[in-house]
Amino acid sequence: MTLERILEVIKNKHPDADTTMLELAYEFAERAHQGQKRLSGEDYIQHALETAFKLATTDIDMPTVIAGMLHDVPEDTGVKLEEIKKEFGGEIADLVSGITKLGTIKYRGLKRYAENLRKMFVAMAEDVRVIFIKFADRIHNLKTLYALKPVKQQRIAKETLEIYAPIAHRLGMGELQGELEDLAFPYVYSEEYKWVVEVSKKKYEEHKRDVRREIKRLRKEFENVSFVPMDMYGRAKRYYSLYQKLLRKDMDIDRIYDLVAIRIIVKNVDECYRVLGVLHSLYKPMSGRVKDYIAQPKPNGYRSLHTTVYSDNRIVEFQIRTREMDDEAEWGIAAHWAFKETGTKKQKMPVDPEKLKWIKTLLERDNEQYKPEEYLDKIKMDFFKNRIFVFTPKADVIDLPEGSIPID
């Protein structure tokens, strides 16, 4: 990874972006990590670059990318946080401080584990961007797990599946969740991973061919009704997500209809429903497989229209959404820190406080002073395991832990 590649990603999306401070941060981190090597044999600066690159691909704000570049400096070098504050300002120093305080979540006894979990939620409550940096850091660490001993590989991969990926899901960050899960999957369930890859290989290719044919057909059909979508492409299901679905479908891959779904991106909500109407005039929809997550978003904020249809003895799933919905589905709450061009001024989207309410709930639970094992059980039950979703008379969606009763 190089600084030039990161700058290219940023400039492609924001040609007028001022990257001066990011370039200074790279020089600062390179000096601080001079001579340091990772167990993989790479220069340590590569980890800083990879972390910053992953953040840049999410279109996150510049302070977060800069903090990603600097995130290991206070912990792994002789440079103090005060120097970062002096060079780069309080906002970036606070983000780096959040990562430093967070440390690494490790399975070293229940008490230590619970305390580190609490640290994570405290850091997220103070500035949720800290967890974005942690995700980017973790993704590169997973990519270099091969350099570690098997016991450590297992621990890091397991905590990724049990903690990091579920938090990414709760924040609506589907792209990062999927990447975390797929990188950890072969280390936690190695035999299952090999089986899923093998059994799905031929099916993926078949579905991809079908999708290409359907997209070609659809372009002509849309032209006939004078409609041009912003984008239309196939999206393959990730391996760990496929594995989880296979567990619910008796491991029968022929019952998986969204192995490669067709995603249609349009300009606005009205066009979402217009496209749905066109699809249902062309194909026979499968009963019970039309889902309106625009009218009733998922509790993590996910919005889209889904429909599964029959096409020439094949079954195809479509996902219809606006560009904004697509960004939120991929990057979740991180999309609210993305720079939006408004003339020459850059603005950030406001974050709905309701989307962070669950973090505050965790902190309130922290104050109840559970024993470590009780705290972990509560966390897993309330936020990392099965949920119950109920509708109020006003059509709001309420998210409750499994086992809840009507009075809840």
Specify whether the CB–CB gap between 1 and 48 falls below 8 A.
no
pLDDT, tens only, 34-81: 999 998 889 999 999 999 999 999 888 899 999 999 999 998 888 999
Task: Judge contact between 288 and 239, C-beta under 8 A.
Answer: no
Q: What DSSP state is assigned to residue 267?
A: S
What proportion of the chain, given as a percentage, has pLDDT over 90?
Answer: 50
Q: What is the pLDDT of residues 331-366, one digit of tens each?
A: 777 666 655 433 233 344 445 555 556 566 655 655
Length of the chain as a residue count = 408
pLDDT tens digits, 227-275: 889 999 998 899 999 999 999 988 888 888 888 899 999 999 999 999 9
- 149 pLDDT exceeds 50? yes
59 is catalytic: no
How far is the C-alpha of 135 from the C-alpha of 185, rounded, in Å?
16
Hey, what are 341's tokens?
Answer: 């061009």
- Residue 96, pLDDT > 50, answer yes
According to the model, what pLDDT value does residue 28 have?
Answer: 96
The span from the CA of 338 to the CA of 333, in Å, is 10
**Angle, CA of 30, 36 and 40, to the nearest 5°:** 115
For residue 85, is pLDDT > 90?
yes
Residue 260: Cβ-neighbour burial (10 angstroms; 0-12, 13-18, 19+): buried
* Dist CA 152 CA 344 (whole Å): 48
- Matching CATH topology for 3-188 and 190-330? no
**Nearest C-alpha neighbor of 132 from the set 337, 340, 314, 279:** 337
* 309, β-bridge pairs: 285, 316
Distance CA 9, CA 237 (A): 25
Q: How far apart are the first and last CA of the chain?
A: 50
> 146: pLDDT confidence band, cut at 50, 70 and 90?
very high
Residue 397 predicted with pLDDT over 80: no
Whether 407 shows a pLDDT value over 70: the answer reads no
* CATH class of the domain comprising 3-188: mainly alpha
Yes or no: say if 162 and 189 are a contact pair by the CB < 8 Å rule.
Answer: no
CATH code linked to domain 190-330: 3.30.460.10
Asked whether residue 93 carries a pLDDT value surpassing 90, the answer given is: yes
Helices (H), 89-188: 90-102, 110-126, 129-143, 150-159, 165-170, 174-188
pTM over 0.85: no
Tell me: the pLDDT tens digits for 157-210?
988 888 888 888 888 888 899 999 999 999 999 999 999 999 999 989 988 888
pLDDT of residue 59: 84
Q: Is 76 a catalytic residue?
A: yes
Q: Which residues contact 68 (CB under 8 A, 6 or more apart)?
A: 48, 51, 52, 54, 55, 133, 136, 137
Q: Are 157 and 142 in contact (CB under 8 A)?
A: yes
Side chain identity at residue 267, one-letter code: K
Residue linked to tokens 């889209």: 304
CA distances from 98 to 67, 145, 281 (A): 10, 24, 53
Q: What was the pLDDT predicted at 137?
A: 94
Which of 23, 30, 76, 87 does the annotation list as catalytic?
76
Active-site residue, from 30, 42, 75, 271: 75
Closest CA to 95 of 77, 112, 70, 75: 70
CA atoms of 304 and 273, how far apart (whole Å): 10
Domain ranges of the chain: 3-188, 190-330
- Give the mean model confidence (pLDDT) for residues 303-330: 91
